[in-house]
Each structure stands twice: as structure tokens, then as C-alpha cells.
Amino acid sequence: AVKEVEDIGMLLPQVEQSVLNLGKFSSVIKLSAFFPFKSAQGALENINAVSEGVVHADLKLFLETNLPSGGKKKAMLGVSDAKLGAALQEELNLSIQTGGAVAEIIRGVRLHFHSLVKGLTAQAASKAQLGLGHSYSRAKVKFNVNRADNMIIQSIALLDQLDKDINTFSMRVREWYGYHFPELIKIVNDNSMYCKLAKLIGNRKELTEEMLEAIEEITMDSGKAQAILDASRSSMGMDISPIDLINIESFSCRVVSLTTYRQGLQEYLRSKMGQVAPNLAALIGEVVGARLISHAGSLTNLAKYPASTVQILGAEKALFRALKTRGNTPKYGLIFHSTFIGRAAAKNKGRISRYLANKCTIASRIDCFSEVPTSVYGDKLRDQVEERLAFYETGDAPRKNLDVMKEAVAQASEVAAEIKRKLEKKEKKKKKREKRKLEALSTAEGDDEEKANGEAEVHVSNTSSVVFSTGVSTWGGL
């Protein structure tokens, strides 16, 4: 409960310093009610609700119980978070204040909280805050609303970096090996193929017709393989020492391995896009779809964007430059790399990019909020873009969106039912396997117990016979 406060005076440095003094702060602020959390789980639920701007049942009960309801002057509630304040105002119909003096008052309450609450020490409060902070962070890491799109963002970033690195390294191999065999650069244009040939050929003077078959396997062209062999015999390149050749071959091996890894990474990205955003991948392609997700930050963010934003995503610099100079704004951004815009005529590029951005937005929203991921909608949306492209070229009227979506919904429900059936079947098989394992373990444990009991009985009988015989002998002696 706040006894008195002044918004203008709160900004003065003297007043800000007085918040640090417990005596002065206690004269303005008085603790009216305190409700400790019953468990760590309850505290975590409450902090999650606060972070989402949702009014938890515990908070609602606490406020309804302790806020003064009567009186001429209506009580005003200070809330530090504006989102939570709006939710409280809507839920409880209270007078809420979120800015101004509220921040300074809450700062003082946080600082002197252990002094205001009886029986609470600063150390205990610090430990409780630390434990709750760790629980909140762990829950946030585990609960990822973006599903696995973080892996897509990292994969596409690595793919772009690998492309740059492979190009740079390949040019270095070309320059380095070009001193020895300059004619090979003109014959072979592909970087990966050039590095493989540099590794295979080595010293061009040792290249013979026996190696022609191995060269043909790399180049996949008998004429090109023969040209390489002929060029090696009449090459103008300088001689090279064995140590230099070893270094060139070693570096060529590295470039070839990087190229192989890049191909594997692209396959991984393709499979990941098929799991996370199958409709977007079916519509615009895996690489372009991954770039859109990466640029937006997550699939959820991309789903929130309107079609006009998706259309120019990646062309922000050109957009702001056009706005500044009052020139023509860009018609497309990252979606330019799709095949549709390249196939469209110059006058229709803007139209098709707008239409494609609209379909990309629909596909991303379906992927983000659907429970069972299927590519049915993506295929149908792709067909629609193809029809619209044909309409611009030939004038053939495309199908209505309503008819296409009805077909898509019918097919998607069938596919989703099939996927659910397969998942249930797999789950049943998994449970059966686990049950068999448990039965086998219990049987094995039972056999071990029987063996142990049998050994114990034998041991006891032997011991008793020994004692008895000893007793007889002792008795006989007496």
C-alpha cells in the first residue's frame, strides 16, 4: 500500500536516492498482504503466466482477497509489465497504472523485500530467486514453440558459409595447381571436379593412359578425359617439387571433403524442412523456405508476417532507400530465388511475386499451427501458382481458391489419419517390445533367485551335517 507519491518529484536524484534508505522508504510504503507460493511448481507456473501476460488463478484470488473494494476513492493497482496490466484490467475491471512512479516503487520493494516480510532473510530470498530463475530458464529451453526450426536456421547459415569457403578454397587450389598444370583450368570448370582431378593426377608428367579410366569416372566424359591427357603431354606449366605436390593434394582432399559434407548438410536440411515446414518447402523449395524462416527468426514469426512483408523480406535496404529517395520500391526479396519469378515475363514479375508471397504466408501458417505436418496444402498451393503463371502467359482461367482448398482439406484429412494410424501402430509395437523386455528381465531375475536359493539350501545342508557330525564326535568324546 502506497501512502503518498509524487510523479514529478520521483524523477529527482534526491528522491531516487531516498528509495535506497529503508527508513524513508518505509514511511511511504507499507506491506498490506503477502502470499508465499506453496511449491516450486506453483511458482514456476505463476512466473510463466506473468511472462506470457496471462492472469494466473493464484494472482486473481490474491488480488480479489486483498484489494480494498469499498470506500469513496477507488484503489489503483501499479503493475510493472504493461501486457500483464492490460490483462488484469480486462479480467478484474481495475484501475491500472504501469508507468511513471510504479517502476521506482517496485524497484524499492525488490530492494527491501526481505526487510518488509517478517521471517525472510536476504540470503533466503536470493536462493529462492536463483532457484526459480533456473527452473524458468530450463522450462523455456525445453518448451520451444518454434519446434525444431532452430536447426533449420543454423543449417542454412552453415550452408551459406560453406558455399563461400568452398569457392574461396577452390580458387586457391586452381591458382596453386595452375602453376604446374594451367591447361586443366580451361578444360574443367567445376570446382569440386577440379580438386578431385588435382588430387588424382598429382604430377602431370606421371599421367599415363592407365589413369584415363579413373579420370573418366570423375569427369563423366570420355572426350574431356582424353583432352586432359593430351594437355598434360604438351603443358606449358612449371615443374613442381614433391613437397609442394603433397601440400596441394592435401588441400585438395580438404576441399573435396568439405564439398561432400555440404551435400550431406543439404540432404539434412531437406529432411528437416520436410518435418518442420513441409508445405512451405513443397511450395517454394527447401533452400528458399529455410532462408525465409532464418530471416524472420522463426517459423512462428514468419507465420505472423503479412504477405506484403514476406514479399520484400530480404530487400529491406532497397525498400528504405526507395522510401528515402522516393523511388520505386522493390517487388521481391528472398522469394526472387524461386523458379516462378524467373520463369515469369518482365511485366508479370511483380504480379507473380505478390501472388507467391500470399501463398507462402498461407503455407507458413498451416505449417506453424497444424498438429500433423503434411505437404498436401503446399502441393495444391504450388499448383495454384503454376496456374496463375499460365494465366498470365496464355490467358487460361485458373481454378477458384475455394475449390482447390476443399480438395486440399479432404486429402489432408486422409493423409493425417493415415499418419496417426502409423504412429499408433508404431507406439503399440514399441510397447510390446518394452513389455517383452520386462518379461524377459523378470524371468531372468526369477531364475537367478531360484539358483541362489538352491545354492543356499545346499550350503545350509552341508553346514548342518558338519555341525551334526562334530556334535556326535564331541558327545562321543564326553
Q: Give the CA distances from residue 159 to residues 173, 212, 262, 266, 268, in Å, rounded to whole numbers and listed in that order.
A: 21, 34, 7, 7, 11
Q: What 3-state class would DSSP assign to 97?
A: strand
Architecture of 13-141 per CATH? 2-Layer Sandwich (3.30)
Domain span(s) for CATH 3.30.420 in the chain? 13-141
Q: What is the number of other CB atoms lying within 10 angstroms of the CB of residue 83?
A: 14
- Report the candidate in 114, 140, 145 with the shortest Cα–Cα distance to residue 44: 140
Which parts of 179-211 fold into alpha helices (H)?
183-187, 191-201
**Confidence band for 366, pLDDT divided at 50, 70 and 90:** very high
- Report the candidate in 374, 410, 372 with the shortest Cα–Cα distance to residue 279: 374
DSSP string, 239-298: P--HHHHHHHHHHHHHHHHHHHHHHHHHHHHHHHHHHH-HHHHHHH-HHHHHHHHHHHSS
- Report the candidate in 344, 345, 318 with the shortest Cα–Cα distance to residue 331: 318
C-alpha cell at 45: 507456473
Residues 6+ apart with CB under 8 A from 419: 372, 374
**Confidence band for 68, pLDDT divided at 50, 70 and 90:** confident
Domain span(s) for CATH 1.10.287.4070 in the chain? 150-267
For position 463, what pLDDT does the model report? 39
Domain span(s) for CATH 1.10.246.90 in the chain? 277-420
For position 145, what pLDDT does the model report? 47
First-last CA distance in the chain: 96
pLDDT digits (tens, 9 = 90+) for 201-236: 988 888 888 888 898 889 888 888 899 989 988 888
pLDDT digits (tens, 9 = 90+) for 445-473: 777 666 666 655 544 344 343 333 333 33
Least confident of 129-133, 152-156, 302-306, 419-423: 419-423
pTM above 0.85, yes or no: no
| Predicted confidence (pLDDT) at residue 478 exceeds the cutoff of 60 | no
On whether the CB atoms of residues 281 and 289 are closer than 8 A, the answer is: yes
For position 477, what pLDDT does the model report? 35
**Confidence band for 142, pLDDT divided at 50, 70 and 90:** low
Is domain 277-420 annotated with CATH 1.10.246.90?
A: yes
| Predicted confidence (pLDDT) at residue 255 exceeds the cutoff of 90 | yes
Task: Give the integer Cα–Cα distance in Å for 318 and 57.
Answer: 49
**Confidence band for 3, pLDDT divided at 50, 70 and 90:** low
Q: What is the number of other CB atoms lying within 10 angstroms of the CB of residue 447?
A: 10
Task: Give the integer Cα–Cα distance in Å for 364 and 293.
Answer: 9
**Confidence band for 388, pLDDT divided at 50, 70 and 90:** very high
**Residue 92: beta bridge partners?**
none
Compute the radius of gyration of the chain from its Cα atoms: 37
CATH number for region 150-267: 1.10.287.4070
Least confident of 42-56, 297-311, 443-457: 443-457
For position 352, what pLDDT does the model report? 92
Task: Give the integer Cα–Cα distance in Å for 180 and 86.
Answer: 74
For position 474, what pLDDT does the model report? 32
- Mean pLDDT, all residues of the chain: 83
For position 17, what pLDDT does the model report? 72
